[in-house]
Every structure is written in structure tokens, then in C-alpha cells.
Amino acid sequence: MLEVICGSMFSGKTEELIRRLRRCRIAGQSVVLLKPVIDKRSVCEVKSHNGNTFEAKEISCGEDILKASENVQVIGIDEAQFLPEDAIQAIIDLSRIYEKRVIVSGLDMDYKGRPFGIMPTLLAVADDITKLHAVCEDCKQNASVSYRVTEEQEQVVIGAKDKYVALCWKCAIKRDASKLGVYSESDVLNSGEKI
């Protein structure tokens, strides 16, 4: 079974992943948590923004995922958006061929609000999807945008509250629509498309 937990930064994805893995351990199942080598925020563990931790192994490709999953029943993968394309097949094989429970968490959108990395494919093939929301920094409603507060332009910039805030779409567009991969209402109307 493939479960995908997605949402913006600060929405509780890692917290939910850790919670599910701990429940599996309580049930006597063998568990491994994997994280992309690119995420250097903590070594040998995954840490949620709330401070909860879970021991983890670093991976860089699909082959690493398969090797690390050989003798376990449940595989957790954090920050899946940073994994390469070959990770998709490894994840699918683990869940469908080897019949293991795979729980993946990651950002569904990048800082511009565009589909991020391998997450769209994982969402398409998932057996179960949980979409979490943060609280908008400005209006306190549900937030789904990981809004970058720095001027860096690269798609991948590792950081936390030093680089990002969670915003709803309305507040993100109010702050600066040019930072997002969206069009203004007037652009859409002028193009002849109906909204």
C-alpha cells in the first residue's frame, strides 16, 4: 500500500509521518525511515518542526530505497520531492510487488505553487492521500503555499522559517504575485479564457 502525505511547509507532514511509523512499531511491525541525502538539517534522523524526531537513513536513489527496505515491513520516506525520478519505480515496486506499506511525505508544490519533483506522480499512483494545511501567517486561514521570503530563485532551497512562511493563495498573491507561478485575474480575462 502506498500512502502519500502532502501539503505546504509547516503543515505537519513530517509529524504525521512520524506518528504513523510509531503506531506501526507499537503494532510490532519492523520500520525504516528514509530521507534524501540533500536534506542536511539533521543527521541520522528526521525532525519535525514541533521537535519530534525519528531515526533515519539517508538515500540518494531508487536503489538505495530498495536496499534499505529489504528486511522491514513498513517504509517511511520524508521530503520525497527531493528524490530523483528512479525513486518512483522503487516506491511502486515496494508497495505493489513486495506488498510493503510505504508512507511518503513531501511538498506537493514548490515555492512558486507548481508541482514539485516526483510528488505529482506519487500522488497519481497512491492508494491513500492525506493533504495537510498549515495556518496562513497573514489571515490565519488554511494555508497551502510555501511562500519564500528570500530572493533566491533556485527551485530547491533548504530552509525553514528563515526562508519560508505558510500562506493561503489570497495572501500569497497580495504579498507578491510575481513570486508565484500564477497569473493575475486580468491576465486570464485578457486571454479570452473564462474563470
How many Cβ atoms from other residues are within 10 Å of residue 63's Cβ? 12
Cross-strand partners of 59: 36
Q: Is 164 annotated as a binding residue?
A: yes
Q: What is the distance, to the nearest Å, from the Cα of residue 79 to the centroid of all Cα atoms in its chain?
A: 5
How many Cβ atoms from other residues are within 10 Å of residue 86's Cβ? 14
Q: Is 158 annotated as a binding residue?
A: yes
Alpha-carbon distance of 113 to 144, in angstroms, equals 9
Nearest residue to 143 (alpha-carbon basis) of 112, 166, 171? 166
Catalytic hit among 16, 55, 58, 79: 79
Catalytic residue flag (residue 79): yes
**Annotated binding residues for substrate, as ranges?**
156-159, 164
Instruction: Give the residue numbers marked as catalytic.
Output: 79
